[in-house]
Amino acid sequence: MLSRVEGKVSTLLMVGALSLGVTLGFAPVTPAAAQTRALPDFTDLVDKVGPSVVNIRTVERVTRRGGPEMDEEMQEFFRRFFGQPFPGNPNPGGPGPRGRSEPREEERPRGVGSGFILTTDGFVMTNAHVVDGASEVLVTLPDKREFKAKIVGADKRTDVAVVKIEASGLPAVKVGDVSKLRVGEWVMAIGSPFGLDNTVTAGIVSAKQRDTGDYLPFIQTDVAINPGNSGGPLINMQGEVIGINSQIYSRSGGFMGISFSIPIDEAARVSDQLRATGRVSRGRIGVQIDQVTKDVAESIGLGKPEGALVRSVEEGSPGEKAGIQAGDIITAFDGKKVDRPSDLPRLVGNTKPGSNSTVSVFRRGKTIELKVTVGEFETEQQAKAQAPKEPTPTESAASPVAKAMGLQVADLSEEQKRELKVKGGVLVEAAGDASARAGLREGDVILAVGNVEVSNVKEFNNALSKADKSKPVNMLFRRGDWAQYALVRPSR
């Protein structure tokens, strides 16, 4: 009798436990096969995109001058134990006068990279550094057909290049929408790492909008990318190209889990110009910019650190003609917000030269709108930083408030103003204590104190006396052609 009761109780307990498990949401045991099916399957993507990915080999021609001839045994010794010919006689040619070989031109393999077919008529996209300096470019398709390619154009600033092969009916890739790409999404790469053609690797998107270049916000992934992958496509799970594999972060030269790809929308804009004209035309306004720090943003009333601090304005540039001044903070361009300094070159660079645009600048505690006619960025233009000019000493004026901060200042002469291209300001003759700790030094020219422009020592003292001494006092100053802010913290 007792055993039958115990049996019923045991059955009830088991049923209750199962019901409780359902109530609490315990997941039922899933077969291993079902779990495997939940993982991403890249096989169809490889079949779809693989035929569009090409191997790119480059060759350069070099002129060799041989040295004295040596016998075959000595040449073989150098080849075996040093992995190269004898230094004085590489790839020896026929002997010339006095036992020296004549100069000869030879082709030397330069590098291996990847690319992908952009159009069915033979336009191929890759990295600019893959074809840079190459005298000949060879493109090999997955079906082993090989073509000599013509370099249509290459843009070093974005590391995008387009080459052309004479073929038709080629399998072109499908371009995806980068704006829909999400962090954590699975992606795949196909390329030729270390010359191993059609190698497939996969991973996830680690981050977007990585600032590692002047003109491009990169896509960061953990997809294994190695030398030879450069120029190959980054592919989403729909089989669409969303980037060009371009860079890796590495301390060893090999993959370390961080790779960077050029967003395909940015690359497409560059390739369109390269195919149309062979070069890229970019806008410029002629300003040198820097980051806005949190302390500076708070002290000048900007609130949060955003925008691009104008350090200098090139003479005669579109920016100068528009009225942009050193010390301004550019917060928007053509209505598009500038959150970081790197945003501005991209916005301006993507603007067609000759366009009339609007620049929003924060100056002396308020935002003003300026009209600028965008100029054209010259190819390979080098910014020439001028050395700071040392103003001629002038007679000092008494400044007890400034001296309390370790500052001794003087008026600028008209000649100095013309030399420095400033309308006013005061010359720092000595900087110590708090002002020195803030970064000021002899020869600097202070243009504004606490968002108030100063033209002479009297105005400087007035502005300084009205500043809140319990807080850091912001001072806009020029050093040579560069402007920046100093936060002078009063001594306690």
Q: Are 175 and 264 in contact (CB under 8 A)?
A: yes
Buried b (16+ CB within 10 A) or exposed e, 52-80: bbbbbbbeeeeebebeebbeeeebeebee
Residue 129 bears catalytic tag: yes
* Active-site residue, selected from the candidate residues 52, 114, 206, 230: 230
* Closest among 245, 205, 210 to 226, alpha carbons compared: 245
Distance of alpha carbon 240 from its chain centroid, rounded? 23
CA 62 to CA 162: how far, in whole Å? 24
Mention every residue, 6+ apart, whose C-beta is less than 8 A from residue 25.
Answer: none
Residue 271 bears catalytic tag: no
Mention every residue, 6+ apart, whose C-beta is less than 8 A from residue 320.
Answer: 286, 313, 314
CA 221 to CA 212: how far, in whole Å? 14
SS3 of 310-343: EEEECCCCHHHHHCCCCCCEEEEECCEECCCCCH
Q: CA dist 395 to 399, 406, 416, 447, Å?
A: 12, 18, 13, 18
Residue 468 bears catalytic tag: no
Degrees, nearest 5: CA angle 336-341-343 = 40
CA 160 to CA 248: how far, in whole Å? 16
* Active-site residue, selected from the candidate residues 52, 155, 159, 259: 159
Q: Are 243 and 230 in contact (CB under 8 A)?
A: no
* Active-site residue, selected from the candidate residues 129, 197, 265, 339: 129
Q: Are 426 and 454 in contact (CB under 8 A)?
A: yes
Catalytic residue ranges: 129, 159, 230
